[in-house]
Amino acid sequence: MGNQLLVRLYNVDVGDCIYVRLPNGNEDFHILIDCGSLGVKSILKSALEHLEQELPVDAATGKKRLDLLVATHIHEDHIKGFDPEYFKNIQINHIWLSAVMDPAHSQAEHTLRLHNFASQKMRELAVSGLALTPELESLMALYSITNDGALDALRVDLPQANHILPKYVHAGRSSNDPDLNLGLNNQTTIHVLAPEKDIDHFYLGQAASNLQGFTAFSNRVRAEAAPAAVSAPANISASDFRLLQTRMLSNLLAFADLDGATQNNMSVVLLIEWRKRRLLFVGDAEWDNAFKDGTRNSSWNVMWNKRQAQLNSPIDFLKIGHHGSINATPWSSANDAEFEPNKILDAILPLPQAGSKPSAKAIVSTIRKNYPTIPAANLLVEIGKRVGNTQKYKSKLEEAGKNPNVLNLFAEFEAVMLDELQPTRTDIEKILTGQDFVEVTIDPAD
């Protein structure tokens, strides 16, 4: 217990497992945001065991007490660790889930249908063991069967074990709402900035018709098709036909990609306001060129247009989205300051005036796999200009006697910008300190 707010990101491979400790009168308030990884599950178990030791004892149950559990969205790298077994010694007082995780949510009908379709098809394809690029393998991994258990745990098992109901939250809600009351004192408010309640309208838009059209026309094509026995055309060779099949547009992959983006955009985005400090936890919310009503939008653009009053001012902490991917922090070096994504970044993390140092902080939970844009080095360097907790990691590694080459694909994606200031990274800090988490503290500003 103290006067500082603590944010800790566990080093969980490609994934998020975030602990926030808020001073709240005589007692601290303990939040866990996400617990997932694309790596092995045991890494999450270890993180939770570490966290469990630090949580206070709940007087009523004798278990450790977690005041709020938040699952931002349903991807494996955010929820794989929600195994009831891992939480058996923890009393959870509140669970907030994204509105889209409510199977009965009436304004997510098309989004849910898209997800179910993509899940079914990608799982069918996964068993065929096809060779895919690393990017496509990551896409397919989103539909892992292991996610089903985590989702059930969040919706049913954990609420039942803790005698609570999960709250499916959407933009506009906050801890000030009576039904979301968390027992926080008046120094803290937790706002939900995303997703909007009308999910189909804002995040799918016209794209909803694609699946309908695809299904309807696939049926039409099947009706026109030759008998199943005719499996190859008579007027080209078998090898040309095989080649053709690999070079046609795959709607299954496209729908999975659309669903992947949509689910990222369903991320619960939390703005924690505490003693005149603003902390932003964005899940994997994505950005696009600009908001357009009636079309498929990305979360950052929707927030900018619908929740600007809360978003349009500097923040003190950013949980960098999507493990440092280029698609989850609104910024494009190719465009000017009037480009909507750049306006958003300038609003929340403005570049410091000449001669002054930025005071905001940011952390990215990441590790380089085979994917060039996770993390995106140029993005991290850009954020590094706007926050204070930065390192020149190449020099730091060398000073510590570590060879930067230990980073996967160092020459390809890291070398070019590793000696520029970057915000705190879980992967490199692990190499430097051996510690399984990184954390920052925030002082009050009132």
Partner 1 sequence: MASKDEVRRQLYAVGDMLDKEVKIELGLFLPIKTYLQDPLVAKQDPKFGFSTLNVKWEPGLRNGPTSARFAVVDYNGDTGTLVPPAKWDNAKREFIYGDTKLDENRVDEFQFHQLSVWTHLQNALLFFEEGSGMGRRIPWAFEGNRLIVVPHAGYGQNAFYDRHSKSLQFYYYEFDDKPVYTCLSTDIINHEFGHAVLDGVRPYFTETPSIETAAFHEFMGDISAILLILRNNDFRNRLAALYPGGLSDARELEFLAEEFGKTVQDMEYLRNAANDKTMEAVKDNPDPHYVSQVLTGAMYDILVKFSEHYLNVRKESPKKAFWHSVDRMQRVVVQPLDLLPPVDVTFRDYALAVLRAEELSNPTDPGGYRDLILDVFLKRGILNQQEVDSLRPRHRLYDSFHVDVFHSIEMISQSRAGAYRFLDDNRRVLFIPSNEDFVVADLYEVNKYSEVAHRLPRQYVLEYIWREDVSLEGVEFGALTGQIVTMLCGGTLVFDERGNILSQFQKPGSQLDPTQEPTDASRAAAEIGKRRLERFKANIAYNVRIGQLGINQESALGLLGTRMAPFLIRTVNGTTRFELSPHLNITENGTRGDRAWEISS
Under the binding rule (CB under 8 A), the answer on residue 235 touching partner 1 is yes
Our CA angle for 136, 112, 253, nearest 5°, is: 20
The minimum distance between CB 247 and partner 1, in angstroms, equals 3
Under the binding rule (CB under 8 A), the answer on residue 327 touching partner 1 is yes
**Of positions 88, 123, 220, 385, contacts partner 1 by CB under 8 A:** 220
Distance between CA atoms of residues 251 and 217, nearest Å = 12
Distance between CA atoms of residues 188 and 175, nearest Å = 9
- 64-66 and 17-24 as β-strands: parallel, antiparallel, unpaired? unpaired
Q: Write out the H or E segment, with its range, that includes residue 141.
A: helix 134-141
The minimum distance between CB 330 and partner 1, in angstroms, equals 9
Residue ranges in 139-198 that form contacts with partner 1 under rule CB under 8 A: 139, 141-142
Taking the CA atoms of the chain, what radius of gyration do you get in angstroms? 23
Q: Write out the H or E segment, with its range, that includes residue 78.
A: helix 76-79
Under the binding rule (CB under 8 A), the answer on residue 239 touching partner 1 is no
Judged by CB, which is closer to partner 1: 136, or 347? 136
Cis peptide before 103 (omega within 30 of 0): no
User: In DSSP terms, which residues pair with 439 in a beta bridge?
Assistant: 8
**Residue span binding partner 1 (CB under 8 A) among the ranges 1-9, 223-231, 352-360, 387-395:** 223-231
The minimum distance between CB 4 and partner 1, in angstroms, equals 35
Judged by CB, which is closer to partner 1: 165, or 216? 216
The minimum distance between CB 248 and partner 1, in angstroms, equals 4
For 186, the 3-state DSSP assignment is: coil
The minimum distance between CB 229 and partner 1, in angstroms, equals 11
The minimum distance between CB 403 and partner 1, in angstroms, equals 18
Residue type, 227: P
User: In DSSP terms, which residues pair with 273 in a beta bridge?
Assistant: 189, 278
**Of positions 116, 120, 185, 212, contacts partner 1 by CB under 8 A:** 212
**Of positions 246, 337, 354, 446, contacts partner 1 by CB under 8 A:** 246
Judged by CB, which is closer to partner 1: 82, or 287? 287
Cis peptide before 233 (omega within 30 of 0): no
- 17-24 and 5-10 as β-strands: parallel, antiparallel, unpaired? antiparallel
Contacts of 132 (CB under 8 A, 6+ apart): 140
Judged by CB, which is closer to partner 1: 60, or 249? 249
For 273, the 3-state DSSP assignment is: strand
Judged by CB, which is closer to partner 1: 38, or 68? 38
CB atoms within 10 A of CB 121: 17
Residue ranges in 271-290 that form contacts with partner 1 under rule CB under 8 A: 286-289
Number of residues in contact with partner 1, rule: CB under 8 A? Answer: 74
Length of the chain equals: 446
In whole angstroms, how far apart are CA 113 and each of 108, 120, 149, 259, 284?
Answer: 8, 11, 19, 10, 21
Under the binding rule (CB under 8 A), the answer on residue 250 touching partner 1 is yes
The minimum distance between CB 423 and partner 1, in angstroms, equals 18
**Of positions 60, 104, 127, 248, contacts partner 1 by CB under 8 A:** 248
Residue ranges in 346-405 that form contacts with partner 1 under rule CB under 8 A: 372-373, 376, 378
Q: What are the DSSP E strand ranges found in 75-118?
A: 90-92, 95-98
Under the binding rule (CB under 8 A), the answer on residue 214 touching partner 1 is yes
Under the binding rule (CB under 8 A), the answer on residue 1 touching partner 1 is no
Judged by CB, which is closer to partner 1: 249, or 309? 249
Residue ranges in 119-138 that form contacts with partner 1 under rule CB under 8 A: 125, 130-133, 135-136, 138
Judged by CB, which is closer to partner 1: 393, or 413? 413
The minimum distance between CB 367 and partner 1, in angstroms, equals 14
Under the binding rule (CB under 8 A), the answer on residue 332 touching partner 1 is yes
Q: How far out from the chain centre does Cα 348 lie?
A: 18
Under the binding rule (CB under 8 A), the answer on residue 114 touching partner 1 is no
Q: How far out from the chain centre does Cα 374 lie?
A: 12
For 174, the 3-state DSSP assignment is: strand
- Give the position of tokens 């409510």: 102
Residue ranges in 23-82 that form contacts with partner 1 under rule CB under 8 A: 75
Burial status of residue 271 (CB atoms within 10 A of its CB: 0-12, 13-18, 19 or more):
buried
Under the binding rule (CB under 8 A), the answer on residue 416 touching partner 1 is yes
Judged by CB, which is closer to partner 1: 84, or 205? 205
Under the binding rule (CB under 8 A), the answer on residue 293 touching partner 1 is no
Under the binding rule (CB under 8 A), the answer on residue 412 touching partner 1 is yes
Under the binding rule (CB under 8 A), the answer on residue 257 touching partner 1 is yes
Q: How far out from the chain centre does Cα 45 lie?
A: 19
The minimum distance between CB 74 and partner 1, in angstroms, equals 13
